[in-house]
Amino acid sequence: MQYIDEFRDREKIISLVNRIRFESRKPMRIMEVCGGHTMAIHRFGIPSLLPGHIQLISGPGCPVCVTDRRFIDHAIAFSRQPDVIITTYGDLIKVPGSSSSLEREKAARADIRIVYSILDALTIAKKNRRKKIVFLGIGFETTAPGTAAGIIKAQMAGLFNFYVLSAHKVMPPAMSAIIQQGVPINGYLGPGHVSTITGSAMYEFIPDKYNMGVVISGFEPLDILQSIYMLVRQHEANQPKVEIQYSRVVRPEGNSQALELMNEVFELRDDWWRGLGVLPQSGLAIQQKYADFDAEKQFNIEIEPTREDKACICGDVLKGIASPADCRLFGKACTPTDPVGACMVSNEGACAAFFRYRKTAAE
């Protein structure tokens, strides 16, 4: 397949692995902060190619995983309202709330529909004018412009039965918090999709302030290995900087149109991240001028008190200071079929990836 097979070329991969093995001397912990990277790393078996002293750890890159349980409770409460249709990306459907999940509510006849894009949700709103359509807006800078465009389209089309519940977040505050909270890492595998929108400049504070490198990576085996190689070279030479490996997609200035859309609709607010706590100016709230479409403002309903499972260590897993295997619940009380923590739910979650691809210490 064109544009894919080139990046899985056997000879190139082997030669790159050899270069990493040859040039890397110092132990290294590299954190990926994009769920797509977590999945790709496991799917292609990247860890099995690296020397033992290079460790890959998963950070808070899965939007589903870092989202507050209260958000799910909120969505569930909406789904129980008469004449409400919930539209959501597939990943959210299994995430446990305090006492239920969207999947369970769906089985109990709530109208919950999986969509591939916010445009599908708008079509549903157009076809069901008498119902209220709530779109669950989740994700980082990657999906936020899409949600913004959806809201603007809804306004232009006069779809006032369309609402967004926003849990959108931005990535840099989390990358900063990881370092400040003392998680031992030596470099970031920069998020490919997020950076397509934002560009690379927003990471400059990481080498400047924390003396740590960031390489923005693509998602194929060669991309990831080349990015690791670039980080190894930076680390060996002690010259941390921001580099773009994924240059066929990411521009230093980002996608200005998408950024404009985001700024038009959203504003920054303090937001709660699983494992990291409240991070200043890290969440995206819908601005007052688009309040008609803000589910938080338009629905006045009671939400059950939030309950978390105390044994769940998703927080530490997200920070990269615990491995999924360290969790008492992992693989026993918490499995992809019956998840306790969000990290086990999402395809991109560290626990789900770990469970699926490396279930035991058989490696």
Partner 1 sequence: MTKEQKIMLGHGSGGKLSHELISSLFLRHFQHPALTAMTDSAVLNLPEAQLAFTTDSYVVDPLFFPGGNIGRIAVAGTVNDLAVSGAKPMFISAAFIIEEGFPIATLEQIVTEMANEARHAGVSIVTGDTKVVGTGKCDKVFINTAGLGFFHVEFPPFPGQESVKPGDVILISGTIGDHGMAVLSARNELPVQSGLESDCACLNELILEVRKASSRIKFMRDATRGGLGTILAELCEKSKFGIEIQHETIPVRESVRGMCELLGFDPLYVANEGKVVIVAESSDAQRILLALQNHPLGKDAAIIGKVVEQHPGFCWLKTEYGSSRIVDMLAGEQLPRIC
**Contacting residues toward partner 1, per CB under 8 A:** 1, 4, 8, 10, 13-14, 17, 34-36, 39, 42-46, 48-49, 63-64, 89-91, 93-94, 114, 116, 120, 138-140, 142-143, 193, 221, 335-337, 346-348, 355-360, 362
Q: Which is nearer to partner 1, 110 or 212 (CB)?
A: 110
- Work out how close the CB of 47 gets to partner 1 at its nearest, in angstroms, rounded to a whole number: 8
- Work out how close the CB of 35 gets to partner 1 at its nearest, in angstroms, rounded to a whole number: 7
**What are the Cα distances from residue 7, in Å, to 13, 179, 229, 349?**
8, 31, 15, 24
| DSSP class of 204 | T
- Work out how close the CB of 308 gets to partner 1 at its nearest, in angstroms, rounded to a whole number: 22
Q: Which is nearer to partner 1, 153 or 356 (CB)?
A: 356
Beta strands in the chain (DSSP E): 28-32, 54-58, 84-88, 111-114, 132-137, 162-166, 187-190, 213-216, 242-244, 266-273, 277-286
Q: What are the contacts of 309-313 at 24+ separation with CB within 8 A?
A: 309/340, 309/341, 311/340, 312/340, 312/341, 313/341
- Work out how close the CB of 256 gets to partner 1 at its nearest, in angstroms, rounded to a whole number: 20
Q: How many CA atoms lie within 13 A of 54 on its CB side?
A: 26
Q: Which is nearer to partner 1, 39 or 212 (CB)?
A: 39
Q: In the 3-class helix/strand/coil scheme, how is 283-297 assigned residue by residue?
A: EEEECHHHHHHEHHH
Instruction: With beta carbons less than 8 A apart as the criterion, state whether 311 and 290 touch.
Output: no
Residue 145, C-beta contacts closer than 8 angstroms, at least 6 positions apart = 197, 255, 258, 259, 261, 262
Q: Which is nearer to partner 1, 34 or 76 (CB)?
A: 34
Q: Which is nearer to partner 1, 40 or 212 (CB)?
A: 40
Instruction: With beta carbons less than 8 A apart as the criterion, state whether 319 and 325 touch.
Output: no
Q: Which is nearer to partner 1, 8 or 127 (CB)?
A: 8
Q: Which is nearer to partner 1, 15 or 211 (CB)?
A: 15
Q: Which is nearer to partner 1, 190 or 207 (CB)?
A: 190
Tokens of 126: 């157009």
Q: Which is nearer to partner 1, 213 or 349 (CB)?
A: 349
What is the rounded distance in angstroms from the CA atom of residue 179 to the CA atom of residue 29?
Answer: 12
- Work out how close the CB of 23 gets to partner 1 at its nearest, in angstroms, rounded to a whole number: 19
- Work out how close the CB of 273 gets to partner 1 at its nearest, in angstroms, rounded to a whole number: 16
What is the rounded distance in angstroms from the CA atom of residue 155 to the CA atom of residue 164?
Answer: 12
- Work out how close the CB of 240 gets to partner 1 at its nearest, in angstroms, rounded to a whole number: 26
- Work out how close the CB of 62 gets to partner 1 at its nearest, in angstroms, rounded to a whole number: 8
Residue 107, C-beta contacts closer than 8 angstroms, at least 6 positions apart = none
Distance between the two ends of the chain, CA-based, in angstroms? 30
- Work out how close the CB of 119 gets to partner 1 at its nearest, in angstroms, rounded to a whole number: 10
Q: Between β-strands 84-88 and 132-137, what pairing exists: parallel, antiparallel or unpaired?
A: parallel
